[in-house]
Structure 1
């Protein structure tokens, strides 16, 4: 007898086989999905490919633009935010390097180039007090953001370099300059009070030439005083060139307070006053300078020019006052014509009398001969 078959077991086994088969079919369909009816259309395929390609290019372009912008931003730092002063780090500083602060004594190595490639401001070692205005503004602003040992490229407009005037003979007016700057070292702020006269002369700033210590000798103090006066005189000359007349007069008076007969200070005070329209006062200072140095052509020429200007101003004032009072200035041409006519009149009379006398003499002489 054949063995008995358990129908329930057979049924369960068949159901299990069907579930396995359907699960295998589903995994096969997932691994090899059938193309949809839309993808089978050639036109749709081309359109989708073009769209995908365009999107890819746009995304790539956005990515590139963003990377370039970030790269450019990393290279140059717009210090003031208006594009007039930018820097790029060429060599980074050490990890523990520190930035200088205002009043620190910094030493830099610097080389500048104009737009045509001309080299300017080339210094292997230049020391200055940060923030004191001893150098151009571009250096003061840029070095304050540097760290010791760092090298940067600095691009500056004329406004933060040598401005509209330039610097004769090498830097033309309104020149943009590119600098390579290395911050060699930074030192703590200088103690001016403890400096000797020789050290003060070395750094040469006007405001540190004033105080003196008791240990300084009379000779060193005299040198210090002379250097101080030279600084003020030179500063006045620069201020006159930049039309800063009030500042120039103030600098000259700092000299005249110590040396009342300083010819240069007298001359520059006169120029400053005349430029402000105070011609009479300016001429007074010029004449004082002329008495001390009568052979200087520049002083003599300036006095002649100011004398003519003062005369013209005085005549202009007289004419203005006469107009205010309703009076007309005298006509010079009429007086001259009257004078000339009277001269001719008397000349004619004298000439006629002389001729008559001569004629009478001749007649008498002839009468006596007969």
Structure 2
């Protein structure tokens, strides 16, 4: 990996962490400027370049974020926390404190070190506890937008954190009746976003719960129904999956993704059913030939046939039968030999 700071340019750069991960060089100082405290809102102007290729990613962008909420890359947030209003600096950081192993398509490749120029424009002293209803909704929307940026960068863990922080803001807020519609709309949107990232992280139980919570707020939300159906497909819960896919299709009959998901659920259900039939047939064949279970002193003849029929009626019995066969084989080839040696 390219060196963050070459030997011939080390003058003026300081190692902020002491580990070589983030270097800063002050371009302008302001001893009288307001300092930033944890949890405060700041407005910055910044530019980004890929250090090795010098490709410009962001140029003179103004952005507002709250320190400590993880709304920006770690290097940017840390540097902003250490500045005063009116100050400017250059920053070099390794991938851990920028876009990591994922990168940011199409300009930032995976594992790229970054070069930033940052200026602190403003510090907002107002905490979320002091905000008006309109300001809280705006704050939650900002966190949602930050989460969306992380989602586009495929940083799903960080996206989920931002969505959940926005949800927490709204859930703890005692809104007035006239604000209920706006609050509900944002809660539903955030809940769907959380369920989406949890699904992509294969956190299926959490994604299902998030989607069901959305449906408590909005019983006709097709996105949440679609997500539950997707989880049903992933976990072979065809009863629930087909039910929710059909409900979503009834609400959005022209939605191609919903129609395809319903087809996939029915197809996979049939495939699993055929696989079960083949397994039952093998079990039935063993009983017909007086095979291994009889040799193990287990049931034979009509008794085995009854077990197979019961297994067809209750698939959970299949696992018990397989366990019985394996246990018998272990005894026959290991336990019996041990007893003979005794």
For this structure pair, what is the TM-score category when the shorter chain's length is used for normalisation?
Answer: 0.5 to 0.7
Measured on the aligned residues, the alpha-carbon RMSD in Å equals 3.3
Task: Name the residue aligned to 1:209.
Answer: 170
Q: 1:130 to 1:274 in 2, by over 3 A?
A: farther
How far residue 213 of structure 1 moved from its aligned partner, in angstroms, is 4.3
Residues 87 and 120 in structure 2, CA contact (< 8 A), matched pair in contact too = yes
Distance 2:74 2:238 in 1: 35
1:190-269 matched pairs, under 5 angstroms:
190-192=127-129, 194-203=130-139, 204=141, 205-213=166-174, 216-218=176-178, 220-269=179-228
User: Structure 1: 5+ residue runs without aligned partners?
Assistant: 1-67, 330-370
Distance 1:279 1:159 in 2: 41
Distance 2:169 2:17 in 1: 31
Task: Name the residue aligned to 2:303.
Answer: none
Which is bigger in relative contact order (C-alpha 8 A, separation at least 6)? 2
From 68, 71, 83, give the equivalent of 1:146. 83
Distance 2:235 2:78 in 1: 34
Task: Name the residue aligned to 2:67.
Answer: 130
Q: How many residue pairs get matched?
A: 257
State TM-score, norm by structure 1: 0.59
Q: 1:173 to 1:242 in 2, by over 3 A?
A: farther
Residues 287 and 303 in structure 1, CA contact (< 8 A), matched pair in contact too = yes
From 88, 106, 127, give the equivalent of 2:24. 88
Residues 197 and 221 in structure 1, CA contact (< 8 A), matched pair in contact too = no
**Which protein is bigger by CA-based radius of gyration?**
1
1:77 and 2:15 are equivalent in the alignment: yes
Distance 1:74 1:276 in 2: 56
Distance 1:248 1:174 in 2: 29
Q: 1:164 to 1:309 in 2, by over 3 A?
A: farther
Task: Name the residue aligned to 2:115.
Answer: 178
Residues 89 and 150 in structure 1, CA contact (< 8 A), matched pair in contact too = no
User: Structure 2: 5+ residue runs without aligned partners?
Assistant: 1-5, 142-165, 289-342
How far residue 147 of structure 1 moved from its aligned partner, in angstroms, is 3.4
1:187 and 2:148 are equivalent in the alignment: no
Q: 1:224 to 1:287 in 2, by over 3 A?
A: same
Distance 2:136 2:103 in 1: 29
